[in-house]
Amino acid sequence: MKTLMVLTSHDQLGDTGLKTGFWLEEFAAPYFVFRDAGVDLTLASPKGGQPPIDPKSDLPENQTPAMSRFKGDRSAGQRRPRCANRFGRQACWSPDQTVS
């Protein structure tokens, strides 16, 4: 089975100057469920490249076993999201594109 996980490219909360991104636990928990099940997993972000992590999600009080596992897994930590060509189209998108 193949699965595409799309993580945000958004790194700032409006014009507040505050940083944001994906919540690490919301990525790490399903990532290992898929990986442990042998799923062929592709990571992508709308703008391509490394998606930003919400800094608050990595605070000590927010740590979970999946996050600790992710940080300790060199192969997981080194994976870079990429665009994937699926059904003849790029899996990466931007809000001004329409994919049919």
Tens-of-pLDDT digits for all 100 residues of the chain? 888 888 998 999 999 999 999 999 999 999 999 999 999 888 888 887 788 999 999 999 999 999 999 888 876 644 444 455 544 444 443 333 333 3
CA-wise closest residue to 57 among 30, 19, 31: 19
- How far is residue 70 from each of residues 24, 30, 100, measured CA to CA in Å? 9, 11, 34
What residue has token string 């994919």? 99
Whole-prediction pTM: 0.70
Q: Which residue(s) pair with 68 in the sheet? A: none
Q: Which fold has domain 2-90?
A: Rossmann fold (3.40.50)
Q: Which helix (H) or strand (E) holds 18?
A: none
Tell which residue, 84, 90, 71, 83, has the closest CA to residue 27.
71
Q: By C-alpha distance, which of 9, 78, 87 is closest to 44?
A: 9
Domain assignments of the chain as residue spans, ordered by start: 2-90
pLDDT at 13: 93
